[in-house]
Amino acid sequence: MASHSPQLTDSVQLPSQVDLTKTFFGIGAVGLIASFVGYFLNPYQFFYSYLTSFTFFTSFALASMIMVMIHHITKSSWGTVLRRIPETISSNIWIWAIFFIPILLGMTTLYKWTSTEYVMGDPIMMGKIPYLNEPFFVIRQFIYFGIWGFLGYKLHKVSIEMDKTNDWGLTALLRKISAPGILIFSITVAFASFDWLMSLDAHWFSTMFGVYFFAMSFQALFPALILITFWLHKNGLLKNTITKSHIYDLGAWFFGFTVFYAYIAFSQFLLIYYANIPEETLWFYHRLEGSWAIITYSLIACRFVIPFVILLNRDKKHNKTLLITVSVLIIVMHLIELHWIVMPVLHYSGISVSWLDITTLVGLGGIFLGLFFRRLRNHKIVPVNDPTLADSLDKHYHQ
């Protein structure tokens, strides 16, 4: 490192006083126990609520993984100081896969296509049997989580190894994993979104649903990273490492993927509206009648218009209060949008919020964040020996 370049001056270890592992695991256990009780009281509501909450947290892990791989394949330096956060989030997918088991156990409750009577009485469904059948569905889930678990674990492990060995040759290995990883990841995420969400209404299909799920997940990741960064700063961590310049960049990415999300979501709607095929239009029709329409229009306002207007201005991306406010808004709207995708299948007549929506969210959220903090405390929170770290720190030094 040249003498004029800035040095890493912050502590890169998570202090024990801000380690929230036990707290979140405790909260998660309480939420899951309450949800388990709810299963016996209302099994239908339990499975739909559980699926919504599981997909919500999994979407952050998947978005984190693609961000890390894009970072490696482009040899990016701007986000090196931030990279350990998404690395840590995605590194736990191989453990997180355990929490998909209730969805497998609830397949016959969640998915109509598991009913032989339903399928045999419908020529459209009979045409989908080669794909929508229980054995193949289960096999696909093992493939998805096997691939994601390997990628997340390996990318994190090699990055940690570089911390210890200072072997810059490992960056080539990270790129070799990421290059095919991005392709395989894209395919598996698309099919997983078809399986988990689109097949809830098995008549409906959209060739854009995979990229739509990716777009909404990736848009929600940047607000999450912004909130984690501000939490670290509040606790006196990485104040000189993750600077205003890096937070501004997160805001710029946040803005960019807000536009991308809106483009994809509207394109999906427009193609279905224009084609006017009953099997396709009914999905949107159900979400444009009754109280579901309130969510439909609020998504346009709160997931696109408000963040677009706020983040369009350069100065606003430097405003901490505004960034926190719009970040919380998008994460809440991300959950509401997943609720809007899943719940009309169960509650045709309109919006219905159950206490199980809360308990499954708290339960799975506690476990998800507990896994994150457990992994974060065990390793350095910045990739200290990454060859691009000096450039990442230098970004602030020259501004």
Nearest-angstrom CA–CA distance, 298 and 174: 41
Q: How far apart are the first and last CA of the chain?
A: 19
**pLDDT higher than 60, residue 398:** no
Contact (CB, 8 A) for 330 and 60? no
Q: 131: which 2 tokens?
A: 């794909």
> Average pLDDT of 230-236?
92
Instruction: Note the pLDDT of residue 7.
Output: 66
3-class DSSP state of 119? helix
DSSP 82: T
Confidence of residue 1 (pLDDT cuts 50, 70, 90): very low
Instruction: Note the pLDDT of residue 316.
Output: 85
242 vs 339 pLDDT, higher one: 339
Q: For residue 171, with 0-12 CB atoms within 10 Å meaning exposed, 13-18 middle and 19 or more buried, which class applies?
A: middle
Instruction: Note the pLDDT of residue 393.
Output: 85
Nearest-angstrom CA–CA distance, 269 and 355: 31
Contacts of 29 by beta carbon, 8 Å cutoff, 6+ apart: 363, 366
Nearest-angstrom CA–CA distance, 387 and 67: 18
Identify the CA nearest to 148 among candidates 35, 242, 69, 208: 69
DSSP 243: -
pLDDT single digits (tens) 261-314: 999 999 999 999 998 888 789 899 989 988 999 999 999 999 999 999 999 988
**pLDDT higher than 60, residue 2:** no
Query: What percentage of the chain exceeds 90 in pLDDT?
Result: 72
Instruction: Work out the number of other CB atoms within 10 angstroms of the CB of residue 174.
Output: 21
**pLDDT higher than 60, residue 384:** yes
pLDDT single digits (tens) 149-172: 999 999 999 999 998 888 878 889
Nearest-angstrom CA–CA distance, 162 and 316: 36
Confidence of residue 11 (pLDDT cuts 50, 70, 90): confident
**pLDDT higher than 90, residue 357:** yes
Q: 282: which 2 tokens?
A: 């009914």
Q: 274: which 2 tokens?
A: 């224009």
**pLDDT higher than 80, residue 3:** no
Q: 317-324: which pairs have CB atoms within 8 A and are 24 or more residues apart?
A: 317/247, 317/248, 317/251, 317/252, 317/255, 318/244, 318/247, 318/248, 318/251, 320/230, 323/226, 323/230, 323/247, 323/251, 324/226, 324/227, 324/230
Instruction: Note the pLDDT of residue 350.
Output: 87
**Mean pLDDT of the residues in the chain:** 91
5 vs 91 pLDDT, higher one: 91
Confidence of residue 396 (pLDDT cuts 50, 70, 90): low
Q: Which residues of 289-301 are buried (b: 16+ CB within 10 A; e: fewer)?
A: eeebeebeeebee
pLDDT single digits (tens) 60-73: 999 999 999 999 99
